Amino acid sequence: MKKFKLLTAIALAGTMILMTTSVIAKERTKGRGAEGSVVIYVTSQDKFYDTVLLGDLPYNGTTNFQKLEPGVGPDGSVGQTEFGPRDTEYYGGRWWVDANMDGYMDETDVYFLCPLLGPGRDEP
């Protein structure tokens, strides 16, 4: 089961990287916003944020994770979430992806640490 979660998290990160490389607004060669970096859209702020995947997190039976919906941003190519930096509901990049599509956090979902890097911007 742990191998499945790890593979799912890796596949998710890889998918998000592939999806965002085609929508980078400016040509960047390194650092934040570089080609291949992951971008997350925050709906409450109408902003895009760069991010970096730091690793898996174990499910601890609490709700201390924020839902991340991969590939459903405004243009369909970035991840999307409701809250970001400066929002009290932002969990600092502790994400969960509903891998079993049941709408609830449970042991079969994917949990990982992927903080948003400010400042946010208006375009991917």
| Distance in angstroms (rounded) separating the CA atoms of residues 71 and 106 | 21
pLDDT at 21 over 60: no
Q: 84 near 47, Cβ under 8 Å?
A: yes
Mean pLDDT of 2-28: 44
Helix (H, G, I), strand (E, B) or coil at 58: coil
Q: Tell me what pLDDT residue 111 has.
A: 95
Q: CA-CA distances (angstroms) from residue 14 to 2, 30, 43, 80?
A: 18, 18, 23, 16
Q: Tell me what pLDDT residue 60 has.
A: 87
Put simply, whether the predicted model's pTM sits higher than 0.85 gets the answer: no
Structure tokens at 93: 């990049």
Scanning the structure block, which residue is given the tokens 């979902």?
Answer: 109
Q: Tell me what pLDDT residue 36 has.
A: 59
